[in-house]
Structure 1
Amino acid sequence: MGTAEHAARLSGTVFVSGTRMLYVGPLVATEHHAHHAAQVVIAPQGLYIEDGANGRIHTRAAVIPPRRLHGHSACAHAALLFLDGDELASRKLSRDADPRCETWGRAPFDANVPRDPTPEMARALLAAILAAIDPRQPPEPRHPAVRRMCAYLDGSDHVNLASVSQEAGLSPRQMRHAFAQDIGLPMRAYLRWKRLRRAIAAVEAGASLSAAATSAGFADSAHLSRVFREQFGITPTQGLSSITWRTLD
């Protein structure tokens, strides 16, 4: 990769619907990364996907479970759907998650990836993807204390772990164990993901990367850039500075 200023950037359209983000347009190559979201990719001309153990496949459609190390090649046109790890569909996909990319490939979905999508086209594509990937078995219900913790964390910008423990009704050790077991992430990693989601939402609303970093609780834009690269395999400049934002809500 070159510097952020000269590296290829995403230049398509992102459609936002609650905890779902659908990108349609050209893809840039990513480094290996992992994030708290299930990822579905449809590339009509195909692309390469790698896991963290040197596995590699070429496919036109793939479903990557949340929190699995992966990277993908560039391609001229694709659809990329992110389903937040807390969402039911993402939790279903994580139930039988496999770290090997050879298990992520799918037969091409019966879904058109338009070149210049309208919100109506994006809604149709989103519905087609969700219908194609929906597993039949539901995930295990979350521990009631974990549900309370997630609700507390979602509603708080400044988190005190002692307060979270009190909210959950568990000791700090019990709290950390229950949270990591149900969510799939340690609480601090989960909080980084939430801050990253807030920073992305701030950019969507028109904030600069520096302002978005500050508003989301990062130390500075360099801190945001490090976390973004760990989670998405590209820099914030590559991922956010040249896309068009649309809402489906």
Structure 2
Amino acid sequence: MSELRSDSLKPAMTRGSGRVYFWQGGSLWIGEGQGRTQWHEHHAHQLAVALSGSFRFRTEAEGAWTAYEGAIVPGKCAHQFEIDGAASLAHLFIEPETRAGRALTARYGSNSVAELPAAGARAAARLLSEALQSSQLAKDMVEAATLAVAELCETAIKPAEELDPRLTRALEYIRSNIRNSLSLSEVASAIALSESRFRHLFVAGTGSSFRAYLLWLRINLAIEAAMTGASWTDAAHEAGFADSAHLTRTHKRMFGFEPTAVRLHTIV
């Protein structure tokens, strides 16, 4: 993970409220927010869509801000996010090794923030807004999110090539055991590879180090626990963090703000 920059002139003051919906390989964050994040980066691709208002991104500390109705931030791309005033937003986080993630990489690249086609961004916003207004049930929101991602891919999600089956088995093993202590050697042994060969396979297939990927899964587990009413301390322990301070540091590094800055509504 690259060194993230500080922003001493205007510290992060992000505040927001909303809901987070999870499915394997992705999540939808939807609600209201304001302010600026600190510099951060995360494993997943981020599709940001304005439901009302607009937002800005930048990827260089002294660089210009660019306003968007819809944008994609590729995984591992350090960036800042800002809302001038208040806005309603949807953020779709899609892991790059999934079918949808590979389709997004093929369409938009993996180097820097890219603008989403206006028609696709508006169609995605409409799908998500209608689902939020009519249901808010997890199954309905996940269905709307999946349709929105397909809309932004502008194609059926069919990648040119499949993941290496050994990596697929490794990812399944990690997800099945994520609440336990996991090591690179343990997972390599589970799929009958040497540590060095597995490390190479993992980075090539996911774009992340083994440790960064584990932290990404664990921070999502913690957020999911908080969505069901757990305290952040309990959520940290449930997800395998040493304590809530470790969870907070990880959350800030991946999302640019502390977890307590966002008021999460319980989902059903």
SS in 2 for 1:246: coil
Q: TM-score, normalised by structure 1?
A: 0.84
Q: Distance in 2 between matches of 1:27 and 1:139?
A: 37
Kindly provide the CA deviation profile for residues 131-189 of structure 1, in whole angstroms up to 9, marking residues without a partner as x: 32125461532112211211111111221332212112211111101110111111111
Deviation at 1:70, TM superposition (A): 2.0
Partner letter of residue 138 of structure 1?
Answer: P
Aligned to 2:7: none
The percent of aligned pairs where both chains have the same amino acid is 28
Query: Which structure 2 residue ranges, 5 or more long, are not aligned?
Result: 1-9
Kept in 1: contact 2:28–2:142 (CA 8 A) = no
In structure 1, list runs of 5 or more residues that go unmatched. Answer: none
Q: Relative contact order (C-alpha < 8 Å, sep 6+): which is higher?
A: 1
Q: CA RMSD in A?
A: 2.6
Given the superposition, is the C-alpha separation of residues 233 and 90 from structure 1 closer, same or farther in structure 2, using an over 3 Å criterion? same
In the other structure, the counterpart of 1:131 is 150
Residue 210 of structure 1 deviates from its aligned partner by: 0.8
Letter in 2 for 1:50: R
Alpha carbons 1:50, 1:70 under 8 Å: kept: yes
Aligned to 2:39: 32
Q: Partners of 1:150 and 1:123 in 2: how far apart?
A: 21
Q: 1:149 aligns with which of 161, 170, 187?
A: 170
Structure 2 SS opposite 1:181: helix
- 1:109 equivalent in alignment to 2:122: yes
The alpha-carbon distance between structure 1 residues 16 and 182, as it changes in their structure 2 partners (threshold 3 A), is closer
Deviation at 1:122, TM superposition (A): 4.0
The equivalent of 2:6 in structure 1 is: none
Aligned to 1:173: 196
Q: Give the AA of the match of 1:12.
A: G
Number of residues of Structure 1 aligned to a counterpart in Structure 2? 241
Tell me the CA shift for residue 21 of structure 1. 2.5
Q: Which amino acid aligns with 2:109?
A: A
Which secondary structure does the structure 2 equivalent of 1:94 belong to? helix
Q: Show CA shifts across 1:39-83 (max 9, x none).
A: 222223221111247353111111222222222112422222222
Equivalent AA in structure 1 for residue 70 of structure 2: A
